């Protein structure tokens, strides 16, 4: 919520989370009646009390986490793909070398 510093935000979260709902509403109404808050914050608290609750936490955290996980997965898959291709290429070269070596040994025996 804009207009609140961290201490005020923690105080509101403590009120909301620690007490029974009726006591929390009473305390929030008392805070609304005080002149400590700006009109914007008071409007947001009113909407909180009447059911149109804005999310108090940051939704950016979950979005950022999901984006980070998606990017990590994509990077991992790209590295895995190219690693697998490199592994197959090296194994194929070794196989060709061994076949060449066997063919040479067969020619020597004849």
Does any domain span residue 1?
A: no
Does any domain span residue 110?
A: yes
Contacting residues for 45 by C-beta, under 8 A, at least 6 apart: 12, 28, 31, 32, 37
Domain with 10 in it: 6-49
pLDDT at 20: 73
Question: Please, what is the average pLDDT of the chain?
Answer: 78
What are 22-58's pLDDT values in tens digits? 777 777 777 777 766 677 777 777 776 666 554 544 5
Does any domain span residue 54?
A: no
Q: Is the pLDDT of residue 59 over 70?
A: no
Q: Is the pLDDT of residue 63 over 60?
A: yes
**Do both 84 and 45 map to the same domain?**
no
End-to-end CA distance of the chain: 88
**Do both 64 and 109 map to the same domain?**
yes
Confidence of residue 98 (pLDDT cuts 50, 70, 90): very high
**Do both 16 and 42 map to the same domain?**
yes
**Do both 85 and 106 map to the same domain?**
yes
pLDDT at 64: 76
**Do both 70 and 27 map to the same domain?**
no
Q: What percent of the chain has pLDDT over 70?
A: 75
Contacting residues for 56 by C-beta, under 8 A, at least 6 apart: 1, 9, 12, 13, 16
Q: Comparing C-alpha atoms, which of 18, 21, 19, 46 is closest to residue 31?
A: 46
**Do both 67 and 33 map to the same domain?**
no
Q: Comparing C-alpha atoms, which of 60, 56, 51, 26 is closest to residue 41?
A: 56
């Amino acid at each position: 919520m804009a207009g609140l510093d961290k201490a005020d935000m923690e105080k509101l979260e403590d009120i909301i989370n620690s007490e029974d709902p009726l006591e929390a509403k009473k305390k929030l109404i008392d805070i609304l009646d005080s002149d400590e808050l700006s009109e914007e914050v008071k409007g947001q608290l009113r909407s909180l009390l009447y059911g149109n609750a804005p999310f108090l936490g940051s939704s950016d955290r979950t979005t950022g986490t999901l984006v980070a996980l998606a990017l990590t997965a994509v990077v991992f898959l790209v590295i895995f793909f190219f690693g697998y291709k490199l592994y197959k290429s090296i194994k194929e070269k070794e196989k060709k070398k061994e076949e060449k070596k066997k063919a040479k040994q067969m020619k020597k025996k004849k």
